[in-house]
Copies of this chain bind each other. A is one copy, B any other.
């Protein structure tokens, strides 16, 4: 296990960077100056960084994922791999964390929109739905995921599956949340 990996696992276990004292046993040293020396090396290598007060802060690569271009473009050669942009999944997917929830998808009503049973959807509450949004709606006491459509002032729900007919709500139509992202894990 490299020093880098040890620090990363400490960071994820404690949700903060280790102090020099905590790095002593972690990096198998017996003096803080040895740690200081090792830390300087890691900083030179771009593994970690320091803030203006000397505290260690995680480098972006500790939390971010490298983003490449298109599938067709494929992977760059190791030489140019440094040019790759990085992205934080959390920041990318979550706007208002307080209002964001994750739901597991049941059924096949949105299969033509590429949302399959078992997928996870990130939904956000408290937003005003626009026509064309995918929403979580409460219809007659039950929850469903459908397209939210508004045509000629009339609101209805439409599945992304030809087997299902549009739903024209009889009573009230409560839009509980709006689907912001779909996540499928293999």
Q: Which residues of B contact A58 (CB under 8 A)?
A: 15
Size of interface on A: residues with Cβ below 8 Å to B? 67
Considering only CB atoms, which chain B residue lies closest to A12 in the complex? Answer: B91
User: Are A51's CB and B14's CB within 8 A?
Assistant: yes
Q: Which residues of B contact A102 (CB under 8 A)?
A: 65-68, 87
Q: Given A17-B16, A181-B185, answer yes or no on A143-B51 (Cβ-Cβ < 8 Å).
A: no
Residue A83 is within 8 A (CB to CB) of chain B in the complex = no
Q: Which residues of B contact A186 (CB under 8 A)?
A: 133-134, 179-181
User: Are A68's CB and B16's CB within 8 A?
Assistant: no
Cβ distance A162 to chain B, nearest Cβ, rounded Å = 15
Residue A74 is within 8 A (CB to CB) of chain B in the complex = yes
Q: Which residues of B contact A107 (CB under 8 A)?
A: 71-72
Specify which of B12, B51, B75, B181 is in contact with A176 (CB 8 Å cutoff): B75
User: Are B16's CB and A71's CB within 8 A?
Assistant: no
Q: List 27 A-B contacts (CB under 8 A).
A: A15-B63, A16-B17, A16-B55, A63-B90, A65-B101, A65-B122, A67-B101, A68-B102, A69-B104, A71-B103, A71-B104, A71-B121, A71-B136, A72-B107, A72-B143, A75-B101, A75-B136, A75-B143, A89-B90, A111-B114, A114-B116, A133-B186, A179-B186, A180-B186, A181-B184, A182-B182, A183-B183
User: Are B116's CB and A16's CB within 8 A?
Assistant: no
